Every structure is written in structure tokens, then in C-alpha cells.
């Protein structure tokens, strides 16, 4: 199935791009997912030559946890994306080599392959291309990519796997594709909420969770931006948060005043594990998130009009928090 998917995707994309080889030409395809998705989570964006199987995932996993991927061998991808925290790091803002602070809060990587664009400002179009950002960023892993490739070619296991899986020397293509494969395997869709809502197991969650979901999707407006099953539309807009961090979001890419303070809507899957919240980690708890929306946002000039104030009873707040908890799927998180 996966092999078929890879071949189908390759053919579909290669007719578009002909024989020309681009390290990062991309196209999209419908179909299955890394680990065989059951839920309709959306379209997947593939690279033009995308190979996905157990071995490429395995190589990607080794690379993801390898500190040699940073210039001074101290930071791995997994240093900021810890499996136990749904591939986040529990910090306000992530910390890279030499304890350098980065600009933003580390997002979850679970279900990341469904994203149509990456980063809080959506600036990066493919998952494979994204890996180059932390690898090169002076505050994250601090590499020159050519020097990094030289270094990793001297790891016999990487060189051997590159040859046997991709029929080429270990290079940036192998590095980004293997990391992509591993991340594409991080499908999370077996939370108690899923067992109840999608698999009709009425006992999987409490009455409070069911009521919390009704509040989230019917009484309030949350589901217009955070709809099931991914709990995001991936749109880039302002939820009104008036950032104290001088991070202007989408404006950094477009230079348009109307884009100041706009960030990609995050998924709420595994949200109980991924705090602190927002692009700058400025909101500590989910209870505080509810208070933030209940007051109608910070009133940022570009705040989306859907965000308006509301009143909830203590009971309703508890139900909403229980619903958030029900989105935790531990099946992938505990297996590393
Ligand atoms: C120093 C901490 C740090 C390291 C190391 C790190 N990341 Fe991240 N990662 C982040 C932060 C912070 C963001 C959000 C960046 C932004 O939006 O500008 C992020 C974003 C991402 C995203 C985009 C997710 C989304 O929702 O758009 C992916 C994918 C990702 N990282 C994968 C990786 C991979 C693969 C590696 C290793 C090659 C890696 N990260 C290394 C901190 C880190
Ligand atoms: C108009 C779209 C929109 C609506 C409506 C909306 N949100 Fe959000 N939500 C966002 C955006 C955008 C962010 C990210 C903001 C940032 O990074 O600064 C976000 C962030 C969050 C986060 C933090 C996620 C994380 O990983 O940091 C939670 C939790 C959340 N919203 C819950 C809710 C709830 C509950 C409601 C309903 C009361 C709601 N949202 C309504 C757009 C929306």
C-alpha cells in the first residue's frame, strides 16, 4: 500500500515536472497517510520524489534523535520536539545550541503531514524543506548544510542506508526525505475523543467531555477555526493575541500591515500536553486560554471578527477542559 502510494505519487508528480530534478519541487496527492489514516484528515503534500516505507521511517527516526545534526553535537530535533510532550518541549520558547533562545514556541509534530504549509507564519511549503530551517538557524542547530552532509557521510550507518534505500550517497536529499518520512509516520488519531466521536464507543469519554465538545462546537465559535478531525483549518489569521514578543507573524513574509499579528491556527489534538500556548508561549494553561477567549481576545487591530466575549459557568469551563483532555492520544507518545 505504502509502496503503491509512493509510486503513484512519483508518477503523478513526475509527469508534472518531467525529467527535471528539483531538490524541492512539490505537488500534492490524495490517498493514505504515513501510518494508514482512518480519519479524513485532509490532503497530503508530497515531494516530487517521495519514498515512504518502514526503512525510510527508521532512518528518519535515527536522524531525528541524533545530536550530531547540530554543529556542536548538543541538540537534536528531539531536544525541542520531545515525544513525551507530543513532540513539543514544555518551554515558553524553544532553546537551541549554546542555550540560545529561539523566537517561538515549539509546535507539536503529530499529524504534521496534513499541514498545507509549515511554521507559525506558513512560510515553508513542504515538510521536507522545513527541516533545513532548524538545521541552519544559528539559534537552533547552527549548521552549514554542506559541512553537515560531509560530517554525516562519515557515519557508516547513514551512508549505507542512503545507498540501500535511496541509491545515492548520503546528501541533503536523503537527510530531508528521511526526516520527512519519520515525521509523516506521526499520525495521532486514537484519543478517547476519537473512540467516542468516530468509533461510536459511548463509554470512551465522560458526559462532561461530550458536553465540553458541544460547548466548543455549538455554544461557542471555536470550531469555525478549530474543526474536527484536525481541529484546525490551517488558516493564518489573528486570534487577537497582542504579542509582547515583537513577532509580527505573517507580516514578516508579506510586509502588509493587514498581516501583522497573524499566525497559523494550531491543531488542538494532544493540547493538554503541548503547553504553554500560542506562538510565543505566552499563555500558561488551558484555563487561561479559555479566559483569554471569554474576554473577547486582546483586541489586536487585525483580530478576527469571530472572536467575541462570552460567559461560561464554572461547570461549563470544567467540561471544556475535560474535552481538551480527551484529545490526548498516548499511543505514539509512549513508544519512544
Ligand atoms: C531549538 C529548538 C528546535 C529544534 C532543534 C528543532 N525545532 Fe522544529 N520547531 C521549533 C520551533 C520553535 C518551531 C516553530 C518555528 C516557527 O514557526 O517559526 C518549529 C517548527 C517545526 C516544524 C513546523 C511545524 C508546524 O506546525 O508548522 C517542523 C515540521 C519541525 N519543527 C521539525 C523539526 C525537525 C525535523 C528538526 C530537526 C532537523 C527540528 N524541528 C529541530 C523548534 C525546534
Ligand atoms: C478566528 C479563528 C479562531 C477562533 C474562532 C478560535 N481560535 Fe483558537 N487559535 C487561533 C489562532 C490563530 C491561534 C494561534 C495564535 C498564536 O499562535 O498566537 C489559536 C490558538 C489556540 C490555542 C492554543 C494552541 C497552541 O498549541 O498553542 C487554543 C487552546 C485555542 N486556540 C482554543 C480555542 C478555543 C477554546 C476557541 C473558542 C473559544 C478558539 N480557540 C477559537 C484561531 C482561532
Partners of 116 in the beta sheet? none
Q: Which of 63, 81, 184 to mutate to test the pocket of ligand 1 (most atoms within 8 A of CB)?
A: 81
The per-residue pLDDT for 44 is: 74
How many Å apart are CA 6 and CA 290, to the nearest integer? 42
The per-residue pLDDT for 27 is: 40
DSSP letter at 80? H
Partners of 303 in the beta sheet? 238
Q: Would you say the pTM of this structure is higher than 0.75?
A: yes
The per-residue pLDDT for 274 is: 98
The per-residue pLDDT for range 30-49, each reduced to its tens digit, is 333 444 567 888 777 665 45
Same fold, 2-184 and 192-335: yes
Number of the ligand closest to the Cα of 242: 2
Low pLDDT (below 50) residues in the chain: 1-35, 48
Q: Is 277 in the pocket of ligand 1 (CB under 6 A)?
A: no
CA 105 to ligand 1 centroid distance, Å:
9
Instruction: Give the number of residues written for the chain.
Output: 336
Look up the CATH number of domain 2-184.
1.10.760.10
- The residue nearest atom 41 of ligand 2, judged by CA position, is 222
N-terminal to C-terminal alpha carbon distance within the chain: 25
CATH fold for domain 192-335: Cytochrome Bc1 Complex; Chain D, domain 2 (1.10.760)
The per-residue pLDDT for 45 is: 64
The residue extents of the domains of the chain are: 2-184, 192-335
Q: Is 277 in the pocket of ligand 2 (CB under 6 A)?
A: yes
Amino acid at each position: 500500500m505504502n509502496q503503491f502510494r509512493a509510486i503513484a505519487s512519483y508518477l503523478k508528480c513526475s509527469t508534472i515536472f518531467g525529467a527535471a530534478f528539483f531538490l524541492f519541487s512539490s505537488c500534492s496527492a490524495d490517498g493514505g497517510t504515513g501510518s494508514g489514516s482512518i480519519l479524513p484528515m485532509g490532503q497530503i503534500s508530497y515531494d516530487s520524489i517521495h519514498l515512504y516505507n518502514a526503512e525510510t521511517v527508521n532512518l528518519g527516526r535515527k536522524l531525528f534523535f541524533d545530536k550530531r545534526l547540530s554543529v556542536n553535537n548538543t541538540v537534536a530535533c528531539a531536544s525541542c520536539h520531545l515525544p513525551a510532550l507530543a513532540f513539543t518541549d514544555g518551554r515558553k520558547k524553544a532553546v537551541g545550541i549554546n542555550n540560545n533562545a529561539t523566537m517561538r514556541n515549539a509546535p507539536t509534530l503529530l499529524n504534521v503531514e496534513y499541514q498545507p504549509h509549515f511554521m507559525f507564519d506558513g512560510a515553508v511549503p513542504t515538510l521536507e524543506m522545513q527541516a533545513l530551517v532548524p538545521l541552519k538557524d544559528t539559534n537552533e542547530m547552527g549548521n552549514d548544510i554542506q559541512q553537515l552532509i560531509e560530517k554525516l557521510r562519515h557515519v557508516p550507518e547513514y551512508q549505507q542506508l542512503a545507498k540501500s534505500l535511496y541509491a545515492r550517497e548520503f546528501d541533503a536529499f536523503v537527510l530531508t526525505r528521511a526526516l520527512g518520512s519519520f515525521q509523516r509516520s506521526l499520525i495521532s488519531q486514537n484519543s478517547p475523543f476519537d473512540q467516542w466521536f468516530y468509533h461510536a464507543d459511548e463509554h470512551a469519554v465522560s458526559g462532561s467531555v461530550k458536553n465540553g465538545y458541544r460547548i466548543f462546537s455549538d455554544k461557542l465559535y471555536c470550531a469555525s477555526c478549530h474543526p474536527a478531525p484536525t481541529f484546525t483549518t490551517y488558516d493564518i489569521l489573528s486570534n487577537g493575541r497582542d504579542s509582547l514578543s515583537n513577532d509580527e507573524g505573517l507580516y514578516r513574509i508579506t510586509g502588509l500591515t493587514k498581516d501583522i499579528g497573524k499566525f497559523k491556527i494550531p491543531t488542538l489534538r494532544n493540547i493538554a500536553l503541548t503547553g504553554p500556548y500560542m506562538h510565543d508561549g505566552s499563555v500558561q494553561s488551558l484555563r487561561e486560554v479559555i479566559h483569554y477567549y471569554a474576554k473577547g481576545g486582546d483586541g489586536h487591530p487585525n483580530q478576527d471578527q469571530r472572536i467575541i466575549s462570552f460567559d461560561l459557568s464554572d461547570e461549563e469551563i470544567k467540561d471544556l477542559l475535560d474535552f481538551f483532555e480527551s484529545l490526548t492520544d498516548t499511543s505514539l507518545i509512549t513508544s519512544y
